Copies of this chain bind each other. A is one copy, B any other.
Amino acid sequence: MQRPYQCGIDAAIDVIDGKWKVLVLWALDSGARRFGETKRLLPGISEKVLAQQLREMEADGIVHREVYDQVPPKVEYSLTERGRALNAALAPLNAWGKERIALLEAEAEETAAAAAAVAPAA
């Protein structure tokens, strides 16, 4: 995805592009989080990738990085005003996605029921 963008969606996608960014957005939505704290909220993410994504989001102006000069080191990440706006803009998409999940689950149940009918005692 290269700039300049062909439409606003591209510009937004570009910012949330990355396997974890949306999850990071949600993790930070409830308030400031420390690095390790955020990592714990995202099971499976590596430190390298989390740091990467946070840096990119900071560069994109949706995350604020606050460094406390102390030992042990402490760094807090929080959403900027624009980050919160982005999260709000994501809400309808979230609703749409939840509907899709519900549909997928319904289909899965049908499939399971059909399979059970074909081989009830296999």
A residues with a Cβ closer than 8 A to B are 1, 3-13, 15-16, 19, 22-23, 26, 61, 82, 85-86, 88-101, 103-104
A6 surroundings in chain B (CB, below 8 A):
23
Chain B residues lying within 8 Å of A85, measured Cβ to Cβ, are 96, 99
- Beta-carbon contact of B92 and A11 below 8 Å: no
Q: Please, which residues of chain B bring their CB within 8 A of the CB of A13? A: 16, 22, 93, 97
A91/B92 contact (C-beta < 8 A), A9-B22, A13-B22 known: yes
Q: Which of B7, B8, B23 contacts A7 (CB 8 A)?
A: B23
Query: Contacts of A11 on B, CB cut-off 8 Å?
Result: 97-98, 100-101, 104
